[in-house]
Amino acid sequence: MKQTEFLNIVLPFKDKLFRMAKRLLVSTEEAEDATQEILIKLWDKKNKMETYNNVEAFAMTMTKNFCLDRLKSKQAGNLKLVHSNYTDSSTSLQSELEAKDSISWVERIMAELPEQQKMVLQLRDVEQYEY
């Protein structure tokens, strides 16, 4: 497989890989590193790509597993699973407090979910995949 063929296959879902990594790792830099690592791994497997039914699904699984491994590693001890990028500078103080309260409730509920259910919510609600 040539580089142009590889890029034609991988580029359409590269941003989805980054969003998945960002959701899991929180840090933009960590997510960029994870995405780059996955793209390198895909490049190494470029000759086997034709055997996969769905390269995008394979890449998403690789990204999920890589990020979860990063979260479990000792060097990523300060990372955690959160989602708090809801900001709006033109809201009133009351609206802001209500939004923060809602986000904290969602974070608490999400924290109690098993890892697989968190991933299902990420893929279905954020990435808009089908069941």
* Mean predicted confidence (pLDDT) in 112-122: 80
The verdict on domain 1-77 having CATH code 1.10.1740.10 is yes
Please determine, for residue 79, whether its predicted confidence score (pLDDT) is greater than 80: no
- Mean pLDDT score, 104-128: 78
Residue type, 82: V
Task: Please give the backbone phi and psi of residue 74, each rounded to the nearest 5 degrees, phi first.
Answer: -70, -35
Domain coordinates in residue numbering, the chain: 1-77, 82-131
User: Angle, to 10 degrees, between the axis of helix 55-72 and the axis of helix 14-25?
Assistant: 20
Q: What is the mean pLDDT of residues 67-88?
A: 61
Tens digit of each residue's pLDDT (9 = 90 or more) over 12-50: 999 999 999 988 888 889 899 999 999 999 999 888 888
Q: Return the SS3 of 62.
A: helix
Q: How confident is the model at residue 76 (pLDDT cuts 50, 70, 90)?
A: very low
Q: How far apart are CA 30 and CA 112, in angstroms?
A: 24
Contacts of 27 (CB under 8 A, 6+ apart): 79
Is residue 30 within 8 Å of 76, Cβ to Cβ?
yes
Confidence tier at 90 by pLDDT (50, 70, 90): low
pLDDT band at 74 (very low <50, low <70, confident <90, very high): very low
Number of residues in the chain: 131
